[in-house]
Chain A
């Protein structure tokens, strides 16, 4: 499960742990797992120098399926966990993973501030517009008329979130959407996201075969955005006005100020601070 490999000769398989995923066959998350391993292999990152931090939900199980360090944290709290880790250990590559419920509902506040703080993290949200693990409730990205949850049998009647809009508005430095039906394209975008400084947000359309089987149509409906990625936030904002949640590609790769607090190398011993108390 935790083998050290020579990354020079690494293949994607070397980044998989011996734990077999328990996701339903047909789940979009398999693709994301595959894409992550391809990205890490391509970048030749040592698995011991990568950490994957997640919250709670089906997609949050992903750290256990990778041969990197991992932390399967609390529902909605993956981003602060990853923030503390990255600030304490800037040498590590830190990926954050979770679903739409974990990230946009209970995790919403942390999502806003992670984008704003713009620390060098890559946040992968596998959006299936449902709470899968708890048997199919509506999530913040579910359509208002989806009526198959027992909690909201007439649909929520509430407009869904637009994650890319929020990410752009809150200050993320790299914003992209990918579809799990294209694991190779996803891998390529992940490499770009990891390499881009600051907070990279990758929104993955990842269907749920058990609770949203009609999402199988997504692979026919998604299409590449007809424009190139931009570094201009206002241009990105205008493009988002015509986004129907099915455009694939990198929307924005910005130059916003990133936050990277430094641990000083010229450090004094705490005893030297005592003079400040002397009477």
Chain B
């Protein structure tokens, strides 16, 4: 085989903390599978990892890219550049150019039979080597180019061979010995073929093998959090990119004694969970922007009737059908303000893949305790990213539904109490019979159009949420200094990464990663902004929804700047870094 380096080989001597690899290919070349195997292998070897995937619109056979970052410390974001790009072929690969930034230190390894390198990628100035993956694979019975590619990666980053082969063996167990042998041989073939390749960097070796670590996506973490919170009924209507939440929950619910029902549309799924919750079972559904829009009337019903439900909204590019496979943070407005009438409810948002588990559990338990709907705003970048991370800590959450068990005299479902939370009679409880509904009502639940009843119930539903003590979970706050960055959702990852890049240079920065968006916590933010005179707001939207939300409900000190841009490209740490650097000079 021919090796055609564009630039003479040079071994890099300094290992780095993280290494980013992109694998691209099309027509069933198995790039997605290769990416998953690589992630798991890195995890086995003791590293942390972070993987996103992109593809063309075809259901099968389309162009695909897997982007993996491997590191010695937990990662919550992609880097600003990729060290290595392996291309099994170049068909329609210009689609991915903007997502795979390369520079002069990067290395491209491509199959010479895979077509012409797109000009956009060529212009990035990376070094180049041929690797005839298809030809090498053909030499092996049952061999596949993606396994050759994995072998190449293994050699280039000095990933322990046994880690990769261990993972391959496990995944292909069901397909039999022949498949495992073929893949092993193909991997080794790739390793050998790259023996003399130019180096593109090394990862710092793993020092101590951390204890329990997980390979998990945000969507799976949401499911796990739901079950930990007590959810045992789920109604499901599929929508990208939320479907995996429901698919993970279906068999999991079976095991924990719950049930999932597939609905005919989102109107049905949200009403089913209201019915099940009315019956006493904590319930949840998951959807994305278009589905959440359909559910608005029904979420309002849950507010008025004081029935706890959780709606997970995995945000995607909008508006309307938008960009279903890409991320954006633009359903904030509808989550906060989409209900007609004055309808206080909970809106929470996880700040990382791991945080998806905690925040969903928290949302379930808050909804149950406050007898109200909770919307969990995840997004495609959190939901469909797979990460190797430390097992999230257990947090004891005490909130539970206040159930009326012994009914003494005339039961009043919506009785005013000190906390504004009324004990809820569950069907089957003698003497507790009442009719729930969306009409305004008096304390007994009888429909009423009277001024004082409306005022009493509005005050109650408002105070129920605003008078509750949410503790410290409302935001994740780190760092000190005079500049604060306020952000939320998947923007937290690149913000934190940008701050890590500043270590040792520039002013101190405080990061406020908000989790609780409704009800607003102005007092808490005020305390968090003590000593801060400059605020940078970071979010992924075209109209600055989060920035305007902050301006509407909070006092922001001194000078406030906002950095916001829409999807589909994820926010890079460098973009945040540059905004902060502007202030360093002042």
A and B touch in the complex (CB under 8 A): yes
- Where the two chains meet, the residues of A that have a C-beta atom closer than 8 Å to any C-beta of B are 1-4, 17, 19, 46-49, 51, 53, 63-64, 67-74, 77, 79-89, 91-92, 109-110, 112-113, 261-274, 277-279
B278 and A71: CB pair below 8 A? yes
Question: What number of B residues sit within 8 Å (CB to CB) of A?
Answer: 67
B431 and A64: CB pair below 8 A? no
* A1-B410, A85-B279, A267-B257 as given contacts; A72 in contact with B439, CB under 8 Å: yes
Residue of A2, A46, A81, A277 near B271 (CB, 8 A) is A81
CA distance A109 to B267 in the complex (A): 10
* A83-B261, A277-B215 as given contacts; A49 in contact with B427, CB under 8 Å: yes
> Within 8 Å CB of A80, what residues of B?
235, 263, 267-269, 271-272, 275
> B interface, by DSSP: helix, strand, loop or mixed?
mixed
Confirm or deny: B405 has a beta carbon within 8 angstroms of a beta carbon on chain A: no
User: Smallest distance from the beta carbon of B455 to chain A beta carbons, Å?
Assistant: 22
Contact segment of B9-17, B248-256, B343-351, B510-518: B248-256
* A49-B427, A69-B427, A274-B224 as given contacts; A89 in contact with B434, CB under 8 Å: no
Confirm or deny: B432 has a beta carbon within 8 angstroms of a beta carbon on chain A: yes
User: Smallest distance from the beta carbon of A64 to chain B beta carbons, Å?
Assistant: 5
CA distance A83 to B263 in the complex (A): 10
* A49-B428, A273-B227 as given contacts; A267 in contact with B256, CB under 8 Å: yes
B427 and A92: CB pair below 8 A? yes
> Within 8 Å CB of A261, what residues of B?
259, 261
A84 and B214: CB pair below 8 A? no
B437 and A71: CB pair below 8 A? yes
A264 and B446: CB pair below 8 A? no
A279 and B40: CB pair below 8 A? yes
A4 and B446: CB pair below 8 A? no
Residue of A4, A64, A84, A264 near B272 (CB, 8 A) is A84
Confirm or deny: B73 has a beta carbon within 8 angstroms of a beta carbon on chain A: no
**Central interface residue in A51, A113, A277, by most chain B CB within 10 Å:** A277
- Where the two chains meet, the residues of B that have a C-beta atom closer than 8 Å to any C-beta of A are 40, 43-44, 212-216, 220, 224, 227-228, 232-233, 235, 252, 254-259, 261, 263-265, 267-269, 271-281, 283, 297-298, 301, 305, 388, 391, 407, 410-411, 425, 427-439, 444, 446-447
CB closest chain-B residue, reference A48: B430
A277 and B216: CB pair below 8 A? yes
User: Smallest distance from the beta carbon of B449 to chain A beta carbons, Å?
Assistant: 13
B297 and A74: CB pair below 8 A? yes
CA distance A84 to B307 in the complex (A): 13
A2 and B235: CB pair below 8 A? no
A70 and B434: CB pair below 8 A? yes
* A70-B434, A71-B278, A279-B40 as given contacts; A84 in contact with B447, CB under 8 Å: no
User: Smallest distance from the beta carbon of A79 to chain B beta carbons, Å?
Assistant: 8
For this complex, 14 residue pairs linking A to B, each with C-beta atoms less than 8 Å apart, are: A2-B411, A64-B446, A72-B447, A74-B297, A80-B271, A84-B279, A88-B232, A110-B267, A267-B257, A270-B224, A274-B224, A277-B216, A277-B391, A278-B213
> Within 8 Å CB of B275, what residues of A?
53, 71, 80-86, 88
> Within 8 Å CB of A89, what residues of B?
276, 279-281, 427-428
B437 and A73: CB pair below 8 A? yes
> Within 8 Å CB of B272, what residues of A?
80-81, 83-84, 87
B283 and A88: CB pair below 8 A? yes
* A80-B268, A268-B255 as given contacts; A1 in contact with B261, CB under 8 Å: no
CA distance A81 to B268 in the complex (A): 8
> Within 8 Å CB of B305, what residues of A?
71
User: Smallest distance from the beta carbon of A212 to chain B beta carbons, Å?
Assistant: 25
User: Smallest distance from the beta carbon of A139 to chain B beta carbons, Å?
Assistant: 20
> Within 8 Å CB of B265, what residues of A?
109
CA distance A2 to B258 in the complex (A): 30
User: Smallest distance from the beta carbon of B181 to chain A beta carbons, Å?
Assistant: 25
> Within 8 Å CB of B434, what residues of A?
1-2, 69-70
B276 and A87: CB pair below 8 A? yes
CA distance A236 to B444 in the complex (A): 46
Residue of A2, A266, A268 near B432 (CB, 8 A) is A2
> Within 8 Å CB of A72, what residues of B?
435-439, 447
A87 and B233: CB pair below 8 A? yes
A68 and B439: CB pair below 8 A? no
User: Smallest distance from the beta carbon of B346 to chain A beta carbons, Å?
Assistant: 20
CB closest chain-A residue, reference B436: A71
> Within 8 Å CB of A264, what residues of B?
254-255, 257
**Central interface residue in B305, B428, B429, by most chain A CB within 10 Å:** B428
Q: A85-B427, A270-B256, A277-B214 given; name 16 further pairs at CB < 8 Å.
A: A2-B433, A48-B428, A48-B432, A69-B432, A69-B434, A71-B435, A74-B301, A80-B235, A84-B277, A84-B278, A88-B275, A89-B427, A264-B255, A271-B228, A278-B214, A279-B213
**Central interface residue in B265, B269, B279, by most chain A CB within 10 Å:** B279
CA distance A266 to B255 in the complex (A): 8
> Within 8 Å CB of B214, what residues of A?
274, 277-279
User: Smallest distance from the beta carbon of B287 to chain A beta carbons, Å?
Assistant: 14
* A2-B433, A92-B427, A264-B254 as given contacts; A274 in contact with B271, CB under 8 Å: no
User: Smallest distance from the beta carbon of B75 to chain A beta carbons, Å?
Assistant: 14
CB closest chain-A residue, reference B274: A81
> Within 8 Å CB of A79, what residues of B?
268
CA distance A91 to B428 in the complex (A): 9
* A3-B431, A278-B212 as given contacts; A74 in contact with B256, CB under 8 Å: no
CB closest chain-A residue, reference B259: A261
> Within 8 Å CB of B431, what residues of A?
2-4, 48
B433 and A68: CB pair below 8 A? yes
